[in-house]
Amino acid sequence: MTGSDTRRSILADFCKSGDGQGSGVPAKPEITLQDVFGFSAFRPGQRKIIDQLMSGNHVLAVMPTGGGKSLCYQIPAILSDDLTIVVSPLVALMDDQVAALRANGVKAVRIHSGMSREEQVDAWRTIRNGDCKILYLSPERLMSERMLTALETFSIAYFVIDEAHCVSKWGVSFRPEYEMLSQLKDRFPNSTFGAFTATADKATRDDIAHKLFPGPGTITVQGFDRPNLRLAVSAKTGWRRQLMTFLDDKSGQSGIVYCLSRKYTEEVADYLNEEGIKAIAYHAGQDADQRRLSQDRFMSEDAVVMVATIAFGMGIDKPDIRFVCHLNLPGSVEAYYQEIGRAGRDGAPAETLMLFGLDDIRMRRMFIDQDGDDDAHKLREHKRLDSLLAYCEAAQCRRQTLLAYFDEESGPCGNCDTCLNPPVRVDGTKQAQMILSAIYRTGQFFGAAHIIDVVRGAQNQKIIERGHDQLPTFGVGKDHSKPYWQAFIRQMVAGGILTINIQKYGCLEMTEQGRQILRGEHDFEFREIQVPVKPERRKKSRTTGPALELSSQDDQLLAHLKALRLELARSRNVPAYVVFPDSTLIEIAAKRPDTLDRLSEINGVGPKKLQDYGETFLALVNETEA
């Protein structure tokens, strides 16, 4: 019997019995990883977390997006005799996770409001009959008294809380319904609790553990570094030109473009479609059916650009997103990290770009100040935004700056904009004093546009009516362009020399540091500003291609494999990656397996998928000339 025959036999027993114990499957995570999921080795840190959970230890795991956190709780669930409850925030995420597990032969169900009553009854019957290993629930459904009472009749091995940062008020995505999960430890004291998130600082981590764990637990931080992501930030000088330059070498790739408003989302999507790029708008103002259809297209089709507000993204498990672009400033470093983390989950190179301007800073400050009456919360959010601005204006390695925020050290990455094109820092004390003097002499009542007009000597009605053309600072900065001064003021804001007063309609005000510079007590250094003279199209990059080198014939085979995958996915009403991820198809195209046994050696081809799809994909490979 060959190795693949053995694995198929093991899986057949596994599927019949519904568990990983009485079927003859050794209770060893490596064997389950290979024989169920088709992977030959764990990623760093996965096995340690699995061992802790299987030993009955409560675990909070902070793992980078794409780090493989799902396997950390799915394998213990498979190897347990008892039921595992997974708390998930989104209906779409539950559907995708269950579909992916079933595709690998694991008996999992979900119960949520998007299912019919008959479907929910069937799911519950499956649980009652002991034919289910993993049950996915939303926090609202789980914490209903009816559901808690029903679950108390079962032996629950694990409670797993995904997106666990939503539990803590110290986090940036606090959700009140998640905080209710703190009641679970009292009602199910004998269960083991696992919490997983990609983003949580120390205060948030400690709060999550305190709320969820009924006793001592382990907090493990796998690290926040995503070395396959290229990081870049740029001042917004013309979003259409900048976006098209960014997308210039990304034909045929899928990605996300984040926008701040619903209207902007529609505008950007329309523009991209006019430019021949397949783009879809997605925002909370659309009805649920339209959003679901858009998400299904993005998950199943190739080369789709999703233009979205932050309503899109949490739980999106599409491994081959090759880029994320922000056309507006995110709300915090944590939010930015989560959003760029949706790119390159397959480990292959991916690119990110953030564009920002003073209007973005003003809007973000306004959102914070209008967010309830909790002054302490507002102060935290303002400080978080300050940290993001410091990242935007960083002159050193972006990755070093980003990781330092999460208390990690790193050497220069050589793969971000500041490493590839290091900025020059020059003395800007004189220019800063020009701006500060104009702000002071106009009473700290005006925004950046008016201050720039003053220093550049603009002869407009607003200037003349207020007599600002008579000020000593009028026209002192006429040698520099308006874009130059916009960039300079952004750096002053990011450096804490100026603040934007939202209550006074976005006017610029001096900080104490700014007053010291105006008095000549301190100097000011800034990043040298390069104002583009004309649009530039950058050279094609090779960094976003697949890890394996493919010939032109291999590329043709890969295109056929993707078409077949899409056809199978649509027939089963699942996202394309549930059939096979891109990385698996690329390996098939490169290695061209000619037997089922060789196909079984490809990463991501487990016995159940070999059984369901092996002959079909093998026939296509054998029909295509090398």
Report yes or no on 457 lying in a domain.
yes
What pLDDT, on the 0 to 100 scale, is given for residue 6?
39
Q: Is residue 85 in some structural domain?
A: yes
Query: 131: how many CB neighbours lie within 10 A of its CB?
Result: 12
Q: What pLDDT, on a 0 to 100 scale, did the predictor assign at position 404?
A: 80
| Residues 466, 412 within the same domain | no
DSSP-derived secondary structure for 432-448: HHHHHHHHHHTTT---H
The counts of H helices and E strands in the chain are 29, 18
Residue 532's pLDDT is 54
Is residue 195 domain-shared with residue 312, that is, in the same domain? no
Q: Which residue range forms the structural domain that includes residue 330?
A: 229-420
pLDDT reported for residue 370: 86
- Asked whether residue 312 is domain-assigned, the answer is yes
Find the length of the chain: 626
* pLDDT above 80: residue 66: no
Average pLDDT, the chain: 86
The pLDDT of residue 171? 59
Q: Mean pLDDT throughout 164-193?
A: 85
Q: Tell me, what's the pLDDT at 7? A: 41
Shared-domain flag, residues 295 and 397: yes
Report how many domains make up the chain. 3
Last residue of a domain, one of 186, 221, 256: 221
Q: Please tell me which residue, 259 or 310, carries the higher pLDDT value.
A: 259
- 26 C-beta neighbours (distance < 10 Å), count: 13
pLDDT, tens digit, for every residue of 469-491? 999 999 999 999 998 998 898 88
Residue 448 resides in a domain: yes
C-alpha distances (whole Å) from 189 to each of 130, 144, 186, 300 are 22, 18, 6, 41
Q: What is the CATH number of the domain that holds 488?
A: 1.10.10.10
Q: What is the mean pLDDT of residues 566-574?
A: 86
> Bridge partners of 136?
86, 110
In tens, the pLDDT along 83-106 reads 999 999 888 788 888 999 999 999
- The pLDDT assigned to 158 comes to 97
pLDDT by residue (tens digit) across 253-265?
A: 999 999 999 999 9
Look at residue 214 and tell me whether its pLDDT is greater than 50. Answer: yes
Q: 138-147 burial, b for 16+ CB within 10 Å, e for fewer?
A: bbbbbbeeeb
Q: Residue 110: pLDDT above 90?
A: yes
So what's the pLDDT on residue 384? 80
Residue 164 has pLDDT above 60, yes or no: yes
Listed residue (26, 134, 149) closest to 87, CA to CA: 134
Contact residues for 390 (Cβ-Cβ < 8 A; gap 6+): 401, 494
Q: Which residues of 268-306 are buried (b: 16+ CB within 10 A; e: fewer)?
A: bbebbeeeebebbbbbeebeeeebeebbbebbbbbebbb
By mean pLDDT, which of 274-283, 396-405, 583-592, 597-606 is the weakest?
A: 396-405
Query: Are residues 398 and 256 both part of a single domain?
Result: yes
Residue 428's pLDDT is what? 94
- Helix (H) or strand (E) holding 60, with range, is strand 58-62
Co-location of 70 and 157 in the same domain: yes
Apex CA 622: angle with CA 621 and CA 624, to 5°? Answer: 65
Same domain (yes/no): 382, 518? no
For residue 169, is it within any domain? yes
In a domain, 79, yes or no: yes
CATH number, domain with residue 337: 3.40.50.300
Q: Is 98 helix (H, G, I), strand (E, B) or coil?
A: helix
Query: In terms of pLDDT, which residue wins out, 586 or 300?
Result: 586
Whether 78 contacts 32, CB under 8 Å: yes
The H-assigned helical ranges of 275-330 are 288-300
Distance CA 142, CA 179 (A): 12
466 plus 347 within the same structural domain? no
402 with 517, same domain?
A: no
d(CA 183, CA 576): 38
Q: d(Cα 170, Cα 177) in Å, to the nearest integer?
A: 15
Q: Which of 367, 391, 420 is the last residue of a domain?
A: 420
| pLDDT band, very low/low/confident/very high, at 3 (cuts 50, 70, 90) | very low
Please tell me whether residues 130 and 257 are part of one structural domain.
Answer: no
The tens digit of pLDDT for each residue in 413-467 reads 999 999 998 888 899 999 999 999 999 999 999 988 999 999 999 999 999 999 9
Last residue of a domain, one of 198, 221, 244: 221
Residue written as token pair 């960094």: 543
| Same domain membership, residue 278 and residue 157 | no
What pLDDT was estimated at residue 541?
40
Residue 424 main-chain phi, psi, to 5 deg? -95, 130
CB 306 within 8 A of CB 294: yes
Is the pLDDT score of 232 beyond 90?
A: yes
Looking at the domain assignment, is residue 172 inside a domain?
yes
Name every residue whose Cβ is closer than 8 Å to that of residue 269 and which is 6 or more positions away in sequence: 279, 280, 281, 307
Residue 414 sits in the same domain as residue 305: yes
571 within some domain: no
**Is the domain of 66 the same as that of 192?**
yes
Confidence at residue 193, expressed as pLDDT on a 0 to 100 scale = 97
Q: Tell me, what's the pLDDT at 502?
A: 58
Q: Quote the pTM value.
A: 0.69
